[in-house]
Every structure is written in structure tokens, then in C-alpha cells.
Amino acid sequence: DRSIKIAPSILSADFANFGAECEAIEAQGCDWVHVDVMDGHFVPNITFGPATCAAIRPHIKGVMDVHLMIAPVDPYIEAFAAAGADVLTAHLEAGPHIHRTLQAIRGAGCKAGIALNPGTPAEHLRHLLDDIDLVCVMTVNPGFGGQSFIHSQIEKVRELRAMIGDRPVHIEIDGGVDPKTAPLVAAAGADVLVAGSAVFRGGSVKAPEVYGQNIKAI
Ligand code: DX5
Ligand code: ZN
């Protein structure tokens, strides 16, 4: 399914009300919820772990998309799978054995995602394309919401779309997605658009249909 999906990131939601926040964004038509796990080691910020994912799972009817910004990854895969992750995304930069990690994610029953930091070239995925269900192109340096979109990554999205060909692999964009940048990455071949601060700005959920209208206008 290559239709454009908006995946609100609860990194910008009210941390004391994740359940209600997830229900509110689904009520507005989002069928993916993006969950950012940070360890204060791979990235310079700490969020939460598998227990929080398990607690919010009953409040998400659609896809729970878990973005692991942690290193190492492998010791925690089973716990995030048991917490109900549908997609489990690990960073290519998080360790020396990404292929093993991807196999373990699929082995745990989740869809396997791989995230690329802005400095990592698309070429690094060439021999992994049959081992992934999603590639997450970071359009900011991971760690914080509300950063500016890095335009040089649009070319990477085009390269990845060409490399992927007709494989059933989603291209997800994470960082600085707003009604201005969303159409650019959609035109380059992305189909899952993570949006944190743009959706939750001002402490309340903003209608994600805004993005849909812009994207359809391409
Ligand atoms: C950043 C996270 C993102 C973040 C995006 O490290 O991976 O998912 O929530 O936030 P915005 O949309 O505000 O750039
Ligand atoms: Zn993320």
C-alpha cells in the first residue's frame, strides 16, 4: 500500500496522557502512530522503553511504529515485540551487525525497519533490501523534536525509491515534516511521513488532513 500515511510522533504529545493522545490522533484519521525510544547513549536524549509501549498499545488500533534510537538493539527486541510493536526500526549506525538485528526483528514477528542518519548514504542499504519492510530516512539528526528539515536528504529518498524498485518496502521520513516539506518528500517517493511538533503544536492535536490536501496537490 503506497498511499501516503501520516504517522504522528508522540514525542511531541503530552507524556502524562499518551493513551488519550493516541486516541485523539487516530480519531483524526491517522492509521500509524510513531513511538520514539531514546536511550541517552545512541542519542543525547532519553524517553521511555518497552513498558511504556505496552501501556499505550491498547490505545492504538492501527500500526504501532516503534523507532529505536538505542544501542545496542538486539537485547531489547523481544521486549519491544512483546509490548506490541508492529514495526520495529533500528538504526544502521547502532551496531556492527545490522543484518543480524533485522533478522531478529522479523524472527520476533515484527516488520523490520532500518533508519539512516543524515550522514549515512543510501548505498549502505544495497545488500539489505530484501531484509527490510521499511527504511526511515532521518531528515534531522535524531534526538529531539522540532528541528529544521535537512533538504539534502530529498536526493537520498529518490535514490532509495529507485533502489527499492517494486519491493514492498515503505520509505518513511522522520524530522521536520510539515505542510511545506511533506509534498517534497512525497514527490521524491516517500509514503510514511512522521510528524511530531507539526501535529501536536500548541499542546493539542492539529488536523493531519492538512498534509493530505497538500500531498494530493502534487
Ligand atoms: C527525532 C524523532 C522524531 C521526532 C520528529 O529524533 O525520531 O520522530 O519526533 O519530530 P518533528 O516532527 O518535530 O521534527
Ligand atoms: Zn522517530
How many angstroms is it from 150 CA to the middle of ligand 1? 12
Q: Ligand 1: which atom is nearest the Cα of residue 141?
A: 6
- For residue 177, the number of C-alpha atoms closer than 13 Å in the C-beta half-sphere is 33
Query: Which residues are CB-neighbours of 77 under 8 A, at least 6 positions away?
Result: 88, 101, 104, 105, 108, 110
d(CA 154, CA 150): 8
Q: Which ligand is nearest to the CA of 198?
A: 1
Q: Do the interacting molecules here have an ipTM over 0.85?
A: yes
Q: Is 214 in the pocket of ligand 1 (CB under 6 A)?
A: no
- CA nearest 60: which of 87, 20, 88, 90? 20
3 state DSSP class of 87:
strand
> For ligand 1, what atom is nearest to the CA of residue 143?
6
Q: How confident is the model at residue 217 (pLDDT cuts 50, 70, 90)?
A: low
Q: How confident is the model at residue 72 (pLDDT cuts 50, 70, 90)?
A: very high
Please tell me the predicted confidence (pLDDT) of residue 191: 95
Asked if residue 197 belongs to a known ligand binding site, the reply is yes
Nearest to 124 by CA among 112, 133, 137, 111: 137
Cα 201 from Cα 178, distance rounded (Å): 11
Give counts: helices (H), strands (E), the chain: 8, 8
pLDDT of the residue at 113: 99
Give dist(CA 128, CA 190) in Å, integer: 18
Phi, psi of 103 (to 5 degrees): -60, -40
> In a mutational test of the pocket of ligand 1, which residue from 9, 47, 67, 185 has the highest number of ligand atoms less than 8 Å from its CB?
9
* Ligand 1 mutation pick, 11, 14, 89, max ligand atoms within 8 A of CB: 11
In this prediction, residues 46-65 reach a mean pLDDT of: 98
- The pLDDT score that the predictor gives to residue 218 is 45
Which region among 39-53, 56-70, 191-205 has the lowest average model confidence (pLDDT)? 191-205
This prediction's pTM: 0.96
Total structural domains in the chain?
Answer: 1
In contact, 143 and 43? CB cutoff 8 Å: yes
Q: Is pLDDT larger for residue 179 or for residue 151?
A: 151
Residue with cell 528539515: 149
Give the mean pLDDT of 94-103: 98
Catalytic residues: 36, 174
Residue 25 belongs to domain with CATH number: 3.20.20.70
Residue 216: the pLDDT is 59
Q: Please enumerate in sequence order all residues whose Cβ is within 8 A of that of 162, keeping only pairs 6 or more positions apart, or say none.
A: none
Confidence band of 12 (pLDDT split at 50, 70, 90):
very high
139 lines ligand 1 (CB under 6 A): no
Q: Choose the residue to mutate in 153, 197, 200 for probing ligand 1, maximizing ligand atoms within 8 Å of C-beta.
A: 197
When pLDDT is averaged across residues 17-31 and rounded to a whole number, the result is: 92
Grid cell, residue 50, equals: 518497552
Model pLDDT, residue 139: 98
**How does residue 3 score in pLDDT terms, banded at 50, 70 and 90?**
confident
Indicate which atom in ligand 1 lies nearest the CA of residue 139: 14
84 is in an annotated binding site: no
Asked if residue 117 has pLDDT above 70, the reply is yes
Q: Which of 120, 18, 128, 114 is nearest to 69 (CA)?
A: 114
| Rounded CA Rg of the chain | 16
Host domain of residue 45: 5-216
Q: How many other CB atoms are there within 10 angstroms of residue 96's CB atom?
A: 7
pLDDT digits (tens, 9 = 90+) for 135-146: 999 999 999 999
97 is in an annotated binding site: no
Q: Which ligand is nearest to the CA of 12?
A: 1
Whether 53 has a pLDDT exceeding 90, the answer reads yes
